[in-house]
Structure 1
Amino acid sequence: MTVVALVFAALAALLHVYIFALESVLWTTPRARNTFGTTAEEAQATRQLAHNQGFYNLFLAVLAIVGVVVVAAGGTAVGLTLVVAGTASMLGAAVVLFASDASKRRAASTQGAFPLLALLSLGVAALV
């Protein structure tokens, strides 16, 4: 079950790298504006905020990926700690988004699904 959790953690990390790219690199492009529902003017006005937020998503992804790699290298306790820290933070951010803006609930559910599955899988693995 731990392997399943690590796969979900890696998928969560990949999704957060994609979100990083949208927020920090592509924010003012039509694709990112369509994804986040912003106008060209809104995207330009919020560019610096989105850039910073994107890096938060990247750092969470790095945390989870480093944890997966450390577990694969045999450092189970340290690696799982990093995976839990990264995925729990991702899930926490998704819960905040879900609770704070009803129009963003689909995005929040997408953002939080893989981290939730990773954490649930780790919980099951700990019980077995």
Structure 2
Amino acid sequence: MVIAGLVLAALAAVLHVYIFYLESVAWTGPAARVTFGTSAEEAESTRELAFNQGFYNLFLAVTVACGLVFFGADQDTIGATLVFTGAGSMAAAALVLLISSPDKRAAAVKQGTLPLLGVILLAIGLAL
């Protein structure tokens, strides 16, 4: 269960790195505009906000990655703390998105499922 939880958390981190790319690097480009449903004008006017939000997603991914490194170094307590913090924050942010913007339900589910399952499986695995 621990390995499954770590794999799901790692996949969530990869997804959040991609979200970072879309928000902080490619925000005004066609791929990001299609993904987030924004016009060229909207993308330009929200560029700074998206840039900042992208880095938030990157930092969550880095937190999970650091936790995986600590797990690999047999420092399970530190690793679990970092994975729970990073993936748990990802899942919590997805819940906030779901509650605050019901029209973005699909995005919230996509962003929140992997980290939520990762946290659940990691917690079960560590408890056994």
* TM-score range relative to shorter protein: over 0.9
Aligned match of 1:66: 66
1:37-86 deviation line (CA, Å, top 9, x unaligned) = 00000000000000000000000000001101110111100011000000
For 1:123 and 1:59, the matched residues in 2 are separated by 22
Q: What is the aligned partner in structure 1 of residue 27 from structure 2?
A: 27
Counterpart in the other structure of 2:122: 122
Give the Cα–Cα distance (whole angstroms) in 1 for the partners of residues 117 and 69 of structure 2: 19
Query: Using the alignment, how far apart are the partners of 2:70 and 2:123 within structure 1?
Result: 19
Taking only the aligned residue pairs, the percentage that are identical comes to: 55
**1:50 equivalent in structure 2:** 50
Corresponding residue pairs, total: 128
> Partners in 1 of 2:127 and 2:7 — Cα distance?
19
How far, CA to CA, are the matches of 1:51 and 1:3 in structure 2? 33
Q: How does 1:66-85 map to 2 (within 5 A)?
A: 66-85=66-85
1:111 shift after superposition:
0.1
Name the Cα RMSD after superposition. 0.7
The runs of 4+ residues in structure 1 deviating greater than 6 Å are none
Which residue in 2 is equivalent to 1:112? 112
- Find the aligned partners of 1:126 and 1:54 in 2 and give their Cα distance: 31
Q: For residues 23 and 90 of structure 1, what CA distance do their matches in structure 2 show?
A: 16
Q: Distance in 1 between matches of 2:69 and 2:5?
A: 13
**Gapped runs of 5+ residues in structure 2?**
none
CA distance in 2, matches of 1:50, 1:127: 38
The corresponding residue for 1:37 is 37
Q: Which amino acid aligns with 1:99?
A: I
Deviation at 1:122, TM superposition (A): 1.5
How far did residue 126 of structure 1 move? 2.9
* Distance (Å, rounded) in 2 between the aligned partners of 1:73 and 1:99: 38
Q: So what's the TM-score if we normalise by structure 1?
A: 0.98
TM score, norm. by length of structure 2: 0.98
Counterpart of 1:2 in structure 2 is: 2
